[in-house]
């Protein structure tokens, strides 16, 4: 079947990650050279600045289309106080809660059935150097805005900081449908004129709210025509603090 053929390119990054991990997984006694390799990697790793852009899951975190936020999403199943061995909890929340990524199959049945879920996303796309840009506060992310930002070719990851951050929308429990995000012409511009593979926005969706725009933007970004050669994913609702900046993830 074509499935394994289509998936093959995805196995390469995974193999690279495993090769790195295998430094720490030598069989038998650990040799001096294993130790040197791991300390060298550790030193390189320590030099990188790692920034976790995830929002904390709290009951007041807004949820798409809801007045009530995330609500009581965590339930303690066993409790030390009540004499159990450990505290042990259950989560019940949507896979699109807070800071999350959308998979290629999110708005595309074919890709969904082919298994393009979040597990299929490339970890090297999800982590790495990222450009943070401020967008004009009086506009959505349109083609005109994208043109004016002048994001150079070669930039792979961009976090768009918008009016949503000024309005502190991620800190308001009630969902606000007037959030700033991509319009379909903005998404089209990004696909045609940039090398961006990871798009981050500062509220719960990458696309503006009207239903036809919501569909078009997701289809343009998640299932571009040359999929899987060109393959975008995006993290919604990142919360970024400083000026226009270059953050480096490991």
Ligand X SMILES: *[C@@H]1O[C@H](CO)[C@@H](O)[C@H](O)[C@H]1NC(C)=O
**Site for ligand X, rule CB under 6 A:** 76, 79-81, 87, 92, 108, 110-111, 138-140, 163, 178, 180, 208-210, 219, 223, 227
Closest to ligand X by CB, 34 or 117? 117
Q: How far is the CB of 195 from ligand X (least distance, A)?
A: 18
- CA 249 – CA 50 distance, rounded (Å): 5
Contact 206, 236 (CB under 8 A): yes
Q: How would DSSP label each residue in 111-144?
A: HHHTT-SGGGS-HHHHSS-EEEEEPPTTS-B-HH
State whether the Cα torsion 115-3-154-129 is positive or negative: positive
Closest to ligand X by CB, 127 or 219? 219
Closest to ligand X by CB, 7 or 26? 7
Contact 186, 145 (CB under 8 A): yes
- Give the torsion through C-alpha atoms of 220, 225, 228, 229, to 10 deg: -110
- CA 230 – CA 228 distance, rounded (Å): 5
Q: How far is the CB of 76 from ligand X (least distance, A)?
A: 5
Closest to ligand X by CB, 55 or 139? 139
Closest to ligand X by CB, 42 or 138? 138
Q: How far is the CB of 219 from ligand X (least distance, A)?
A: 4
Q: How far is the CB of 31 from ligand X (least distance, A)?
A: 39
Residue 161: other Cβ atoms inside 10 A:
24
Closest to ligand X by CB, 171 or 230? 230
Max Cα–Cα distance, the chain, nearest Å: 62
Instruction: Go through 87-113 and write b for each residue having 16 or more CB atoms within 10 A of its CB, e for each that does not.
Output: eeeeeeeeeebbbbbbbbbbbbeebee
Closest to ligand X by CB, 208 or 247? 208
Q: How far is the CB of 208 from ligand X (least distance, A)?
A: 4
Contact 134, 244 (CB under 8 A): yes
Q: How far is the CB of 161 from ligand X (least distance, A)?
A: 13
Q: How far is the CB of 128 from ligand X (least distance, A)?
A: 24
- CA 148 – CA 145 distance, rounded (Å): 5
């Amino acid at each position: 079947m074509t499935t394994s053929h289509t998936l093959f390119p995805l196995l390469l990054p995974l193999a690279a990650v495993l090769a790195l991990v295998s430094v720490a997984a030598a069989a038998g006694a650990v040799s001096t050279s294993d130790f040197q390799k791991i300390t060298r990697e550790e030193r390189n790793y320590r030099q990188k600045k790692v920034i976790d852009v995830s929002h904390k899951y709290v009951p007041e975190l807004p949820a798409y289309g809801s007045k009530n936020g995330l609500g009581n999403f965590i339930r303690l199943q066993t409790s030390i106080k009540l004499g159990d061995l450990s505290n042990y909890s259950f989560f019940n929340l949507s896979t699109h809660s807070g800071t999350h990524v959308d998979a290629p199959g999110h708005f595309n049945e074919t890709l969904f059935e082919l298994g393009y879920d979040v597990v299929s996303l490339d970890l090297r796309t999800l982590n790495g150097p990222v450009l943070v840009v401020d967008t004009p506060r009086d506009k959505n992310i349109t083609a005109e805005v994208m043109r004016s930002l002048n994001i150079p070719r070669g930039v792979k990851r961009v976090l768009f900081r918008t009016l949503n951050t000024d309005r502190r929308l991620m800190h308001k429990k009630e969902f606000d449908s007037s959030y700033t995000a991509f319009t379909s012409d903005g998404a089209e511009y990004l696909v045609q004129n940039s090398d961006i593979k990871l798009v981050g926005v500062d509220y719960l969706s990458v696309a503006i709210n009207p239903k036809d725009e919501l569909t078009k933007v997701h289809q343009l970004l998640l299932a571009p025509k040359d999929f899987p050669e060109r393959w975008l994913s995006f993290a919604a609702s990142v919360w970024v603090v400083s000026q226009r900046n270059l953050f480096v993830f490991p």
